[in-house]
Homo-oligomer: A and B are copies of this chain.
Amino acid sequence: MKEFEYYNPVRIFFGRDQVSKISQMIPSGSKVILLYGGGSIKKNGVYDRIMEALTGYDVTEFGGIEPNPLYETSMKAVEIINSKGIGFILAAGGGSVIDAAKFIAAASLYEGSDPWDILSGSVPVKAAIPLGAILTLPATGTEMNKNSVISRKSTTEKLAFASPFVYPVFSILLPDAAGTLPPAQVANGVVDAFVHVIEQYLTYPANSPVQDRFAEAILLTLIEEGPKVYRNPSDYEAMSNLMWSATMALNGLLSCGVPGDWSVHTIGHELTALHGIDHARTLAIVLPGVWKKLRAEKSAKLLQYGERVWKITEGSEDQRIDATIESTVSFFESLGIKTRLSDYGVGSETIDLIAGRFEKRRWLSLGDRGLVTPELTRQILEVQK
């Protein structure tokens, strides 16, 4: 285990009937902006519960935040916040709305000329408007971390930032609201959480048995509960377990003192930016490719994962690794998530484009040991054609 720092001050309220906690957490009399997406919160009753809890606050609504939230949309919210002197951001929905809220919170107090700088990486965040989240879709873990991913339409880019200033002050997790999700979105959530765990776990041995077993705990739970929720999103107990798994998958605990990879995400973001493929589906495409091309380098952890999560103990090491990759792919496919580029109509020109972008950005050594070069990125995508 390496030296590490861990800090996560997000207050979680989990379960039914937690929406009323809003009034306990937002200073009374605050000017609040309520961010949401395509309006599903108006159909599942969450909007009404929020507005009831916000009685007595000065509330401005801002709907229409898209999946893969846009810089362009976010900047409209920033304008409203600054013109009205709004002091608290409340984000209701899935990871996209909460990610947008984090960027909006930081961009509203950004002192430079272009808040895109926060994402393009040159400028650290120094302040942000306080924000709270109401989660209705288990997936990204953004409700309990300091990360955000934003896309820019004008340049088809998708970039991330992280800052302790954008930890939500509180997050209210509503498994009941998630019960109205379409199965395809549930499947996305399961796979997203799954790959978040994998990026922090499936690297190389680091003598970190607690972190390893916590990771395996979440993977086993996703494999067990994911299909239940996919078949029946309104299974409250199973949805609760999925939701808590997804939150724990990316709140900083799993990465304490261990290496992280994140090459799957970095490559996947390009597929979303260029083709609008759902984030989770891009991960399901790229992950098997990374394992196929780095099977020797990741063999120790692939074998451990295969044994402890999929109970694969028979055969040679090579056979066990094959079976482990196959089990993972079958799990994704069982949730209706395809794992080949051709399933999404993506061909060679995209592969060239992505490898070229990484070259141009000097992203020459991604992954847990810097092994993922632009050339290896090309091969990873080629093998998943």
Query: Which of A's residues lie within 8 Å of B, judged by CB?
Result: 1-18, 207-210, 213-214, 216-218, 220-221, 224-225, 237, 240-241, 244-245, 248, 253, 256-257
**Do A18 and B3 have beta carbons less than 8 Å apart?**
yes
- A221–B210 CB distance below 8 A: yes
**Are A12 and B16 in contact, with the CB atoms below 8 A?**
no
- Chain B residue nearest to A171 (CB atoms) is B6
> Within the assembled complex, what's the spacing in Å between the Cα atoms of A225 and B18?
40
Contacts A207-B241, A256-B244; A6 near B1 (Cβ below 8 A)? no
Copies per complex?
2
- What's the nearest-Cβ distance from chain B to residue A368, in Å? 19
Q: Determine the distance from Cα of A18 to Cα of B207 in the docked complex, in whole angstroms.
A: 20
Q: Tell me whether A15 and B257 are in contact in the complex, defined as CB-CB below 8 angstroms, given that A209-B220, A210-B217 are known contacts.
A: yes
User: Contact check: which of B210, B220, B257 meets A248 at CB < 8 Å?
Assistant: B210
A383 to chain B, nearest CB (A): 33
Name the residue of chain B whose CB is nearest to the CB of A13.
B5
Is A245 touching B210 in the complex (CB atoms < 8 A)? yes
A13 to B256, CA, bound (A): 10
Minimum CB–CB distance from A172 to chain B (whole Å) comes to 10
- Expressed in whole angstroms, the minimum distance between the Cβ of A126 and any Cβ of chain B is 17
Q: Which residues of the other chain, B, contact A1 by a CB distance below 8 angstroms?
A: 14-15, 237, 240-241, 244
A353 CA / B257 CA spacing, docked (Å): 47
Contact in complex: B2, A244 (CB < 8 Å) = no
Docked pose: A39 CA to B5 CA in angstroms: 27
List 7 A-B residue pairs with CB atoms under 8 Å apart, sorted by A's residue number: A1-B14, A1-B15, A3-B17, A14-B257, A207-B241, A209-B241, A213-B218
Nearest CB of chain B from residue A333's CB, rounded to whole Å: 23
How many angstroms between the C-alpha atoms of A13 and B2 in the bound complex? 11
A207 contact set on B, CB distance < 8 A: 237, 240-241
- Structural contact, B213 and A256, CB atoms closer than 8 A: no
A210 lies within 8 A of B241 (CB): yes
Q: Which residues of B contact A4 (CB under 8 A)?
A: 12-15
Within 8 Å CB of A256, what residues of B? 12, 14, 244
Q: How many angstroms from the CA of A234 to the CA of B182 in the assembled complex?
A: 54
> Cβ of A241: which chain B residues have Cβ within 8 Å of it?
1, 207-210
Bound Cα distance from A245 to B209, whole angstroms: 9
Check A220 against B213 for contact (C-beta < 8 Å): yes
Known: A1-B237, A3-B18, A18-B3. Contact between A210 and B244, CB under 8 A?
Answer: yes
